[in-house]
Amino acid sequence: MEGLNVLQPPRPRADGKVGVSVSDYFDFSIYVDAAAADIRSWYVKRFLRLKHGAFTDPDSFFHRYSELSDDEARDLALEIWDSINSPNLRENVQPSRGRADLLLRKSANHSVSRIQLRKL
């Protein structure tokens, strides 16, 4: 199972007891980590690739972005990153990394630069 928030801790229930989290059913979990600046850069590069690819489909919801200049698209991608993705990364995704059994740290070129196995 893959997802940004699958390692979220369980939320307290209305009766004050702690509920169950989807990750309680995992035998082993992996968190792929990277510097926020690298993730931001990868996001912008991906947005620009999509602008010239999938966004060009007239039936795509994102087609309107294909009409932007590269500079406008880069600015929009940075605005989306700064207002939505970065806060989600800081507030929801990164705090869950301590719940993973294995932590893989990626460097700017996407190679794995560090592997940490939590003692099980």
Q: What is the DSSP letter of 18?
A: B
Mean pLDDT by 10 residues, the chain (120 residues): 84 86 90 97 96 91 92 97 97 92 97 92
User: What is the pLDDT, as a whole number, of residue 8?
Assistant: 87
List CB contacts of 93: < 8 A, sequence separation 6 or more.
4, 5
Q: From residue 17, give the alpha-carbon distance in Å to each of 25, 65, 72, 99, 117.
A: 18, 46, 49, 19, 30
pTM of the model: 0.85
pLDDT number for residue 91: 93
